[in-house]
Amino acid sequence: MTLLVLLPGVVCLGLAAATALRPRAAWGRLAGLLGAAAILASGIALVAIVLNGSTPTAAGGLLRVDALSAFMLTVIGAVGLTATWAGLPARSGPNPPGRYVSMVCLFLGAMSVAVLADNLGLLWVAVEATTVATAFLVGHRRSRHSLEAAWKYVVLGSVGVAIAFLGIVLLYAATLSAGTPTLSWSVLDHTHPPMDPALVTVAAALAVLGFATKAGLAPMHSWLPDAHSQAPAPVSGLMSGVLLSVAFYAILRVQAIVDPVIGPDLMRNLLLTAGLLSLTVSAALILRQRDLKRMLAYSSIEHMGLLALAAATGSTLALTAALLHVLGHGLAKSSTFVVSGRILAAEGTTQIADIRSLHARRPGLAVPLLVGMAALLGFPPFSMFFSEVAIVVAGFQGGLGWVMAVALALLLVLFAGLARHTVRMLFGASHRDAAAETAGGAPAVRLPTAPDRSAHGPRVPLAIAFGVVAVVGFAAGPLASILAQAASVLGGTP
């Protein structure tokens, strides 16, 4: 069991080192895939073990797996596998540089360590390590834009996370003056040392502020659209699909520690503010987005805002729904980002205005884009429909009626904006036709070219990811029990 806990970190670090040392090895392009597969395998195995009632530990108690950790590890593995598999370069094309693959492995490993750590300090180190790993991935294309995005991302990300570290330091000081110096959240969860509430209040506020920066919650979100739009598509998918959720997981852990000490009000107010602001910002900016990838990035801010509202509600229903939402959003968003990368490769642009009548011209790309956007918009049967409904219902039950009413109104705006952009890209007439029609002439005669049915990359991972998102909302059994257990780890009130 110890081996299973160590497996994700060790495999990913090993692959990162191997690809850095042998950048030209033929198997190098598969390294990210292998790392993600190892994470997924050990995640599923750990879910089974945790459901049997044990909590494996490793590395002298630094790593510990409870239901929440096992679930998050599975999500990282599943999303990682989707993004790396679907993002594989064509076999005929050149191998990606060794450093790219190496950084992807490091990134996956750091995220796994973050969710397995039983120590807020180690969790912080792992979250900061994700910034280190993704910095060069964001700046991978070396254009002016990607350089600017990388600079903003590293500076804002590191400063924000440094603030979270101050919060963790103060929490440590509070435990020290309570007589049990520890940063282990399992110890803090179970023993409840008598900590100074004033100090814990400051610590909690700083920690949430810091991790919220990394989670892309408004008003600390300004790096996110830049970084997510400039990174290579599979990396955007990983950052949007899981990195944000991993940072959000850190907030959930902090909440579980501090709520028993100072009551739920502080965290609830902070999270409500951040959640509503995030929804407002994304709703205000989604309508005038001109770039497909930036649009997807703002949609991520929207979904993080929803998660913040769910965490603020704090009931078992809300937390269970939030975790289901993490899974659904991760898979759907990473797949859609990969599709946007294929569109960039095929069309040479991600400008929404330049992508027209995609459905007629390139059905191989249009169908996955349509399915992905439908999932992100929350159409049934995709799981996000159920998790969003559950979050709103839980909010109404928890006495947050007016917040949820505002959130619903903002979600409607977001829905309209995203749907409008998507429909235009898929079915909209191209500029040339529109110009010809307004000029009164007949539409320009086009050569009857056969539509491009190629998917421009592996179809299977996208099909699996969308399939999982479609059925996971109905899946009971092990998923329901692991979600319920994870919510109870977070101290959800029934």
Shortest Cβ distance from residue 60 to another protein (Å)? Answer: 9
In the complex with another protein, the residue whose CB is nearer, 235 or 365, is 235
3-state SS class at 493? strand
Shortest Cβ distance from residue 173 to another protein (Å)? Answer: 4
Shortest Cβ distance from residue 198 to another protein (Å)? Answer: 4
Do 174 and 201 meet the contact criterion of CB atoms below 8 Å apart?
no
In the complex with another protein, the residue whose CB is nearer, 165 or 248, is 165
Q: CA 349, CA 20: separation in Å to the nearest integer?
A: 31
Do 77 and 47 meet the contact criterion of CB atoms below 8 Å apart?
no
Q: CA 156, CA 334: separation in Å to the nearest integer?
A: 23
In the complex with another protein, the residue whose CB is nearer, 154 or 292, is 154
3-state SS class at 314? coil
Four-residue CA torsion sign, 215, 217, 222, 224: positive
Shortest Cβ distance from residue 151 to another protein (Å)? Answer: 5
Q: How many residues are present in the chain?
A: 494
Shortest Cβ distance from residue 418 to another protein (Å)? Answer: 15
3-state SS class at 1? coil
In the complex with another protein, the residue whose CB is nearer, 147 or 429, is 147
Q: DSSP label at 231?
A: S
Give the largest CA-CA distance in the chain. Answer: 83
Shortest Cβ distance from residue 64 to another protein (Å)? Answer: 14
In the complex with another protein, the residue whose CB is nearer, 286 or 322, is 286
In the complex with another protein, the residue whose CB is nearer, 313 or 350, is 350
CA-closest candidate to residue 96, choices 169, 20, 193, 168: 20
In the complex with another protein, the residue whose CB is nearer, 99 or 459, is 99
CB count in 10 Å sphere of residue 18: 18
Q: DSSP label at 494?
A: -
Q: Under the phi-then-psi rule, with left for phi > 0, alpha for psi from -120 to 50, and beta for the rest, what region is 142?
A: left
Return residues touching another protein (CB under 8 A): 62, 119, 121-122, 124-125, 128-129, 131-132, 135-136, 139, 142, 144-145, 147-152, 154-155, 158-159, 162, 165-166, 168-170, 172-174, 176-177, 181, 183, 196, 198-199, 201-202, 225-226, 229-230, 285, 288-289, 294
Do 275 and 219 meet the contact criterion of CB atoms below 8 Å apart?
no
Shortest Cβ distance from residue 196 to another protein (Å)? Answer: 6
In the complex with another protein, the residue whose CB is nearer, 199 or 326, is 199
- Tell me the CA distances in angstroms from 288 to 222, 346, 397, one per residue in order: 16, 24, 35
Q: CA 441, CA 299: separation in Å to the nearest integer?
A: 39
Q: CA 224, CA 228: separation in Å to the nearest integer?
A: 6
Q: DSSP label at 179?
A: T
Shortest Cβ distance from residue 262 to another protein (Å)? Answer: 12
Shortest Cβ distance from residue 220 to another protein (Å)? Answer: 14
In the complex with another protein, the residue whose CB is nearer, 156 or 319, is 156
Q: Under the phi-then-psi rule, with left for phi > 0, alpha for psi from -120 to 50, and beta for the rest, what region is 456?
A: left
In the complex with another protein, the residue whose CB is nearer, 12 or 81, is 12
Q: CA 271, CA 259: separation in Å to the nearest integer?
A: 13
Shortest Cβ distance from residue 163 to another protein (Å)? Answer: 8
